[in-house]
Amino acid sequence: MGFEERTHFKVDKDLCIRCGRCINTCAGMVLRFGKDGYPEMKPFERFGWKGCWKCQHCLAVCPQAAISIFGKDPSDSLEPVPEQMGEYMESLVSNRRSCRRYLKKNVDPAILDRILRAMNNAPTGGNAMGVEYTIIDDMDRVKEIWDKAYPVMEEKTSKHIHTHSFSDFFYKKMKESEGSIRKDDLLFCGAPHLFIAHSKCSGKWGEDAKADCIIATAYFELLCNAFGLGTIIMSYSAEVLNELAPEARKMLNIPLNHYTGLIVGFGYPEIKYARGVQKDKGAKVHRFSGEKRI
Ligand SMILES: Cc1cc2nc3c(=O)[nH]c(=O)nc-3n(C[C@H](O)[C@H](O)[C@H](O)COP(=O)(O)O)c2cc1C
């Protein structure tokens, strides 16, 4: 089959102004001007580094909506990011806070559908899109996993068997938190839902695949907060499922060779924050700017 057929790359010649933007943004460098002066797809060996990256930048960049690829109609795309998003993003990134108290209520599935649709656009190394999302969006299903994991965690920790990052001291602190911040649930902070980004993180691209999971976790967290949901990123609960209670992890049907270092608990927040915090110590910034040369 020809490459134009495999990608279904089509140019509407009535609309195309031959500006070349599609050619100049093509990550796989598989577009060129054809003999007729309009963009065309070059032959390529295979999808990925040896051909089309399936990134759809050609469709997204065209000011004339003249390009279609993979059967996508450009008019079905979302509008570009509005120019004045900076203030909203500043507020979102600065004021999202970890939430450890939730209403005992399932989230409206329509909100979750929107968030997951947007999550399709989270970047992945090499546009490989190998990351997978497991979502437990029903409180009762979360409770089933909790019922399996929590007693095992209690039993093992009572015998001083802890996950790799924990100890008697840390566990005692977590236990104390069940009186206040993690009401009755040190494991999932009472979150009614869980989100886990996971991927097979081995081989040449293993590091990218792990980064994909972490990026997806961050995107998911921000999207949830943008839609008024509370979130808590948890490494401890992931450790418990991975190291203390494998039977509970099994219930998630996530292959054992997939990275699952973080779990996001999410739901409607019981407590809302009235203002932002004022952290003094942020990341150490090393900035190379201005005229100074090193
Ligand atoms: C990688 C990572 C792992 C975390 N693991 C946990 C966890 O296991 N349990 C928990 O309650 N909070 C966890 N957190 C949340 C942090 O403790 C939280 O970000 C911190 O308390 C600061 O609060 P803020 O998120 O509102 O700024 C984790 C955060 C990150 C980024």
Domains and CATH numbers, the chain: 3-76 (3.30.70.20), 87-267 (3.40.109.10)
Residue identifier of the C-alpha nearest atom 25 of ligand 1: 98
| C-alpha span between 264 and 45 (Å, rounded) | 39
What is the Å distance from ligand 1's center to 98 Cα?
7
| C-alpha span between 146 and 152 (Å, rounded) | 10
Widest pairwise Cα distance in the chain: 76
User: Is there a contact between 11 and 39 (Cβ–Cβ < 8 Å)?
Assistant: yes
What is the Å distance from ligand 1's center to 270 Cα?
18
Measure CA of the first residue to CA of the last residue in the chain; give whole Å: 54
What is the Å distance from ligand 1's center to 286 Cα?
24
List of E strands, 84-158:
132-136
Residue identifier of the C-alpha nearest atom 12 of ligand 1: 234
User: Is there a contact between 242 and 268 (Cβ–Cβ < 8 Å)?
Assistant: no
| C-alpha span between 9 and 132 (Å, rounded) | 27
- Sequence-distant (≥ 6) Cβ neighbours of residue 243 within 8 angstroms: 163, 164
| C-alpha span between 127 and 212 (Å, rounded) | 10
| C-alpha span between 36 and 43 (Å, rounded) | 17
CA proximity to 137, closest of 168, 98, 114, 105: 105
| C-alpha span between 188 and 158 (Å, rounded) | 19
Residue with tokens 């996508």: 72
pLDDT value of position 6 = 83
**Tens-binned pLDDT, residue by residue, of the chain (294 aa):** 566 668 999 999 999 999 999 999 999 999 999 999 999 999 998 999 999 999 999 999 999 999 999 999 999 999 988 888 999 999 999 999 999 999 999 999 999 999 999 999 999 998 988 999 999 999 999 999 999 999 999 999 999 999 999 999 999 999 999 999 999 999 999 999 999 999 999 999 999 999 999 999 999 999 999 999 999 999 999 999 999 999 999 999 999 999 999 999 999 999 999 999 998 888 888 888 887 665
The reply to whether ligand 1 has any atom less than 6 angstroms from the CB of 234 is yes
User: Is there a contact between 52 and 28 (Cβ–Cβ < 8 Å)?
Assistant: yes
Determine the angle formed by the axes of helices 206-226 and 109-119, rounding to 10 degrees. 140
What is the Å distance from ligand 1's center to 153 Cα?
20
Element housing 6 (H / E): helix 3-7
Going from the C-alpha of 38 to that of each of 28, 41, 124, 182, the distances in angstroms are 18, 10, 30, 61
| C-alpha span between 219 and 137 (Å, rounded) | 18
pLDDT value of position 269 = 97
pLDDT value of position 4 = 63
Give the chain's length.
294
The reply to whether ligand 1 has any atom less than 6 angstroms from the CB of 257 is no
DSSP state of 136: E
